[in-house]
Amino acid sequence: MTRLETAPHCARRLRLARILPILLLAVVTARCVSRVAPPPPAPAPPSDHAVTLRVEVGTGVDRTVRRVSLEEYVRGSVPAEMPISTNDAVGGPLARLQAILARTYALANRGRHRSEGFDLCSSTHCQVYVPAATQGAAVARVVADAVADTRGVIITSGSGPIQALFHADCGGHTSSATAVWGGPAPDYLAGVPDAFCVTEARNHWRLALGRDHLRRMLNTDAETAVGGRLDDVSITQRDVTGRATLIEIRGHERRIVRATQFRAVITQQLGARAFRSTFFGVETSQDGFEFTGRGFGHGVGLCQTGAIVRARAGSTVEEILDHYYPGTWLERYSPTD
């Protein structure tokens, strides 16, 4: 039987036999298309050992340099830099936030202490790092989950990890890196307003110093030394957010110094908690000086107090990072970057 001789019902069956697979394919395809397409497989995260860091731990005779993987380093840094509550709904999100910060900062600053034979110190100069083995079990679990959830994730603005600077409390406006330290700075460190940290009572600080006490402290540093007499301290320049940037010190010598330097000389003697920020004013009296200020830390980048309040108010990790580092995004770090 030739095709031309095919009986009508056979021809219909044949046509149906030919069309059926196409119809079935169409139905299957339509069902597939109507479903949400599964996400493409995530790129393989970098091996835990792809990046190792040489971290200085301990001081004095106990000082050693440890080689730790990047993710191990992040596990040790997260709870040392961010209070992680284990019975608080935001404990997990804040641990994830800090893990991304710690990883980004470590990668951007690897080799900061190269001339001393290691990559990062474990103090606030770089990031505080305490080996994860010393963490309590509950905190360690939250942190380990957060580090695993964000494994390899960093903040970028298009060319590798950003300078993910952060501080305890901005006092109401994060500061421009240029205003604080001088020199050029990336757009994401230009400073943003922050209406969240200011709701916390610890936002304000005050320090009264006797005239001679302050004079002796200033004389410990060549840049602020005034000699045998201290007459006055005044703020001669503020940045657009109100943060002091230049200080005039008048005494036997007259000095103009950066506010960060002035603060550093005092915190060197009294600790960082005594003179918390450069977001301050000063009043002079017969006896000495009263400094009143807002915030805690250099004020550049992410404000941790603001981030905590935002997380409690329902902001996601991405939204928080987007506020403090505008124009940046998250990506998975590739060791070949």
Q: Which residues bind Zn ion (CB under 5 A)?
A: 121, 125-126, 170, 194, 197, 303, 306
| Residues 203, 197 contacting (CB under 8 angstroms) | yes
Q: How far is the CB of 197 from Zn ion (least distance, A)?
A: 3
Burial 235-260 (b: 16+ CB within 10 A, else e): beebbebebbbbbebebeeebebbbb
Pairing of strands 52-57, 120-121: parallel
How do strand 204-210 and strand 288-294 relate by DSSP bridges?
antiparallel
Q: 46 or 172, CB closer to Zn ion?
A: 172
- DSSP, res 308: H
For Zn ion, give the closer residue by CB, 90 or 197: 197
Q: For Zn ion, which is the closer residue by CB, 180 or 217? A: 180
Minimum Å gap between C-beta 226 and Zn ion is 30
Which tokens is 216 given? 């002796």
- 216 φ, ψ to 5°? -65, -40
Q: How far is the CB of 168 from Zn ion (least distance, A)?
A: 9
**From the CB of 309, what's the least distance to Zn ion, in Å?**
8
Minimum CB separation from Zn ion for residue 281, in Å? 18
Q: Which is nearer to Zn ion, 255 or 310 (by Cβ)?
A: 310
Cα separation of 333 and 36, whole Å? 27
* Beta carbon nearer to Zn ion, 245 or 304: 304
- Distance CA(113)–CA(37), nearest Å, equals 47
